[in-house]
Chain A
């Protein structure tokens, strides 16, 4: 499968614990995005990378959240000191180049439940 891969698909954690999600984009895709989605809502932008450079961070990305893409390939999204409000699906997406018309491919998402 050469699509966007996310791991783990599901994570249940206790409040206050740290969690990390990994995203492997489609090979050669230099843009990588992270979104958060709650039930009945559309994806909300968190951050995106152009290669290894993090170009933008949403105000939704509090200081408990950090994202990295160290070598311009896979990316990680870490949430520290999780809160119940962090429960959501975290979507990763990737695209090729910076042309606005390029298709953005999404992964299957990582479901986080904070108990």
Chain B
């Protein structure tokens, strides 16, 4: 069964500090992995999409890494800001569709940035 596990479930850090969120998956055959940011009460917004051949991808202060061998991804946030407070959702796609059009969602990591 395709699964996406995210850790930690929640995280509180001080403004200006860095943090790393984890995503482990068992989706097969793997196609790509996406990270989304979801502000409270809003829809998710795409941060990055990574395919099998990509190890690192950056989007401003957000840097995602992918290790397709160990089936792990991380999202690193540098110099956190209050506006980074949100849920971060990992979504993994399987090739050739499959159930739910091949998309498996993690439950998200709830990040709180404190001033």
A31 to B102, CA, bound (A): 13
B45 touches A106 (CB 8 A): yes
A58-B100, A91-B43 known; A43+B51 contact, CB < 8 A: no
B101 touches A48 (CB 8 A): yes
B103 touches A103 (CB 8 A): no
A42-B105, A58-B100, A100-B32 known; A105+B42 contact, CB < 8 A: no
A48 to B41, CA, bound (A): 22
Out of A56, A98, A101, name the residue touching B49 (CB < 8 Å). A101
* Chain B nearest CB, measured from A29 CB (Å): 13
A4 interfacial contact with B, CB 8 Å = yes
B101 touches A103 (CB 8 A): no
In A46-90, the 8 Å CB interface with B consists of 48, 55-56, 58, 89
A2 interfacial contact with B, CB 8 Å = no
Contacts of B36 in A (CB 8 A): 106
B95 interfacial contact with A, CB 8 Å = yes
A43-B105, A100-B93, A109-B43 known; A56+B100 contact, CB < 8 A: yes
Out of B49, B89, B105, name the residue touching A103 (CB < 8 Å). B49
> Which of A31, A45, A107, A111 has the most CB atoms of chain B within a 10 A radius of its CB?
A45
Measured as residues with beta carbon below 8 angstroms from the partner, the interface class of chain A is: 20 to 34
Q: List 18 A-B contacts (CB under 8 A).
A: A31-B101, A40-B108, A41-B107, A44-B105, A48-B100, A56-B100, A56-B101, A89-B41, A91-B43, A100-B95, A101-B31, A101-B49, A103-B46, A104-B34, A104-B91, A106-B44, A106-B45, A109-B42
Out of A40, A43, A56, A101, name the residue touching B32 (CB < 8 Å). A101
In A89-115, the 8 Å CB interface with B consists of 89, 91, 93, 98, 100-101, 103-109, 111
In B9-51, the 8 Å CB interface with A consists of 31-32, 34, 36, 41-46, 49, 51
* Chain A nearest CB, measured from B61 CB (Å): 20
Contacts of A21 in B (CB 8 A): none
